[in-house]
Structure 1
Amino acid sequence: MSRPDVHDREITSPVRLTDERGRLDEASVGWTRSQLHDTSRIGRGWYGWGRNKRWEYWGVVTPTHIFALTIGGLDYANVRQVWVLDRETLTEIDAFEISPLSRGLSMTATHGTGVNTSRGRTIEVRLIDSDAGTRLLARAPRVQVDVLARTLPGHEAMGIASPPSRMLAEYTVKDVDRPTTGTISVDGVMHDATGFAVLDHARSRTPYVTDWNWGAAVGEVDGRRIGINFGGSGPDGTLLNGISHTGVTIDGRVHKIPMALTWEYDRSDFMKPWRLSNERMDITFTPFFDRHARTNFIIIFNEAHQCFGTFTGRVLTDEGEWVSVDGLEGWAEDVRNRW
């Protein structure tokens, strides 16, 4: 088995992501099972202006729909998005807005400490944390969402602080095991939104060019509640920023996988099966829909293939048990960003 990277250590007491000058605090580098990182200096003051990114992305998988709510705060602009896929017809609704600076935007300094809100001309997204979970509220043309992503007792979520450089800092929470209740209304028709939700939270100061692979799988297999976060790796198979972003959550407990993940897929045909593997994971992903998005606002450029589908294979727990993931649903993506 490959040796874990030296940065891939578990942090068990509170830390700050950056020091008083706004630079990366080396003590923060590592991963957690609960929210221990203070990220309050990201987006404050002039230090690193233009590189600060605050992000909340919720993806929800239900039997009838897959939908995503996004709030993104950059120093020079903010975005909000409501996206919905009808799983029967494979038709999508994509509502997107961009505003200058922080107009209509309010985001928490640190994860889980309040309400994230983005409001524009036709779209509003509100994400409200409480002891019961996170309430996902959204309105957009043709769509309304009111869903609770529940937090069950003993629930863990993988937080990761990794160092792009001494001047930059990256912190994310990948919460992949959140059962949902509530509703989504599409064109006036109400649908039950019982399913599973995935959170991608970020408070980071990153380079202008940020390309990545990311994926998530959720559901129940053999009576177990399973969520997987598939972390990206560099082109030579090395870890991004020196730390693994891959882990599996089983019945609320995180099993961190401390080695790079190999992504095998065809960029000329994203609908072909993908393979994601390392010494503790061997999984095939079979897409049924390719969400291809391209945005070009001069200084903000994005091109993404986010494929939705099903997963088969197995993962190895910390206790040495191979667990089947056959039948999990979710996505895998290839993203090129300039922002």
Structure 2
Amino acid sequence: MSEHRITGTGRLLDEEGRLREPGWASRPPFSYDHADIRAPLWRIKDWDYYLVNDERYAVALTFGDLGYLGLVSASVLDFSARTFKTTSETVPLPLGSMGLPASSDVGDIHWANGRCSVDWRHVGPGRRLSFSMRGFDGKDDLEVEVLLDQQPRDSMVICTPWDEDPHAFYYNRKIIGMRAWGGFRRGALFHRFSRDDSFGLLDWGRGVWTYENTWYWAAAQGRQGGHVVGLNLGYGFGDTRAASENMAFVDGVAHKLGRVDFGIPVGERGYAYLSPWHVTDDEGRLDLDFDPRIDRTDNIDVAGVIVSRQHQVFGTFSGTVVLDDGSTLCVTGLRGSAEHIYNKY
């Protein structure tokens, strides 16, 4: 199935607040502006999600303004112990006041309350992430200081509409495989991220969604055979007939893939998330085994009105990817995650 590659530039939305051009790109083609949106403030959803990892630990940081609810969240994952800790702080009715920038290339975030401090800024060609949360794990506070640089040439950008609502859209950029260095402290634990073997990614999302959605997303990054390799795979969110978000990255160069299926195994009680997955595509270019290690779960149900059922599974990918030039990329033990999320909000 052919996919539409966006080559033009301009404003993301037309005069009626509808997505001008669904499709994909390797760099952001459009400008995003709340003033162009034809939906109430409580329906606009903006967030930045960063993940930094090496072979021992990962730190995930989320800062989101979801209209009627703000979210400041942090997770620390220990791959050796196969454990995780997630703590979130919510902000009632921010309605766009949390200060997320309209661009993924420029604009900083400075926000704090009595418990959390978020200071994410562009520094020269890189990004500096400073984050703190009191009482992250019992009496243990969390402090994170990380610099991301060597941003790859290409990234995944997708513009997605919804059939059922002409004013709903999703403008998403994922930057995979930035070099990371710095560290985090959780209580008495300090871990240093070395620039030789640590990587960071950004999931930057802006838009207006419909009320009920399910999505699947996987990302991986690391060194393979002397190259920096990344994966971004996903499906299920909005009307993706124009384009999918599936790409492989080798030394910052994107290779566009077709439609994928995560092959999540099914057990007697539904999905068996901690059993091996088999990830494939519809063109015979992707054949990956995913070895799951940690199922980072989160379940929210507020009277059946606000619901979020999350399974973000961390593990390793091994297998092959056929690149755009026909050559085969072999990956072994590439660190990453694959998630299945259901939301009503």
Scaled by the length of structure 2, what TM-score is found?
0.88
Paired residues of 2:83 and 2:294 also in contact (CA < 8 A): no
Matched, 1:111 2:112: no
Higher strand share: 2
Deviation of the 1:185 alpha carbon: 1.0
What pairs with 1:135-174 in structure 2 (closer than 5 Å)? 135-141=128-134, 142-152=141-151, 155-165=153-163, 166-174=166-174
| Superposed CA offset, 1:228-265 (max 9, x none) | 0011248xxx97354211101110111111x2102211
For 1:24 and 1:239, how far apart are their aligned partners in 2?
12
**Secondary structure, aligned partner of 1:63:** coil
Question: What is the rounded CA distance, in whole Å, between the counterparts of 1:317 and 1:79 in structure 2?
Answer: 38
- Let me know the Cα RMSD of the aligned residues: 2.1
Cα distance in 2, alignment partners of residues 301 and 262 from structure 1: 25
Deviation at 1:92, TM superposition (A): 2.5
Name which of 60, 81, 97 aligns with 1:89. 81
CA distance in 2 between counterparts of 1:230 and 1:137 reads 28
Where does residue 73 of structure 1 map in the other structure? Answer: 65
The residue number in structure 1 matching 2:201 is 198
Instruction: Tell me if 1:183 matches 2:183.
Output: yes
- Could you tell me which residue of structure 1 aligns to residue 263 of structure 2? 264
- Equivalent of 2:227 in 224, 240, 255: 224
Kept after mapping to 2: 8 A contact 1:29/1:161: yes
Asked if 1 retains the 8 angstrom alpha-carbon contact of 2:111 and 2:119, the reply is yes
C-alpha deviation, 1:273, in angstroms: 0.6
1:319 & 1:335 partners in 2: Cα distance? Answer: 33
Shift of 1:338: 0.8
Shift of the 127–286 alpha-carbon distance from structure 1 to 2, 3 Å rule, reads: same
Provide TM-score, normalisation by structure 1: 0.89
* Corresponding residue number in structure 2 for 1:281: 286
Q: Offset at 1:45?
A: 6.6
**Please, which runs of 5 or more residues in structure 1 have no aligned partner?**
none
Deviation of the 1:128 alpha carbon = 1.4
Task: Sort the Cα spacing of 1:209 and 1:286 in 2 relative to 1 into closer, same or farther, 3 A.
Answer: same
Gaps of 5+ in 2: 135-140
Counterpart of 2:53 in structure 1 is 61
- Where 1:114 maps in the other structure, the secondary structure is coil
Contact in 1 for aligned 2:52/2:60 (Cα 8 Å)? yes
Identity of aligned residues (%): 28
Structure 1 match to 2:137: none
Secondary structure of 1:325's aligned partner: strand
Q: Is the Cα contact below 8 Å between 1:64 and 1:87 reproduced in 2?
A: yes
Output the CA distance in 2 between the equivalents of 1:21 and 1:113: 27
Aligned residue for 1:106, secondary structure, equals coil
After superposition, where does 1:295-314 map in structure 2 within 5 Å? 295-298=300-303, 299-314=305-320
AA paired with 1:191? H
CA distance in 1, matches of 2:130, 2:38: 32
Distance (whole Å) between structure 2 residues aligned to residue 127 and residue 303 of structure 1: 28
CA drift at 1:209: 0.7
Which has the larger displacement, 320-329 or 114-123? 114-123
Is residue 288–residue 319 contact of structure 2 (8 Å, CA) maintained in 1? yes
SS in 1 for 2:86: strand
Mapped partners of 1:92, 1:188: distance in 2:
16
C-alpha deviations, 1:130-183, integer Å up to 9, x for none? Answer: 44222121101321111112134x621111112213321111001112110111
Distance in 2 between residues matched to 1:150 and 1:311, nearest whole Å: 24
Distance 2:235 2:224 in 1: 24
Deviation at 1:86?
A: 2.1
Query: How many residues end up aligned between the 2 structures?
Result: 326
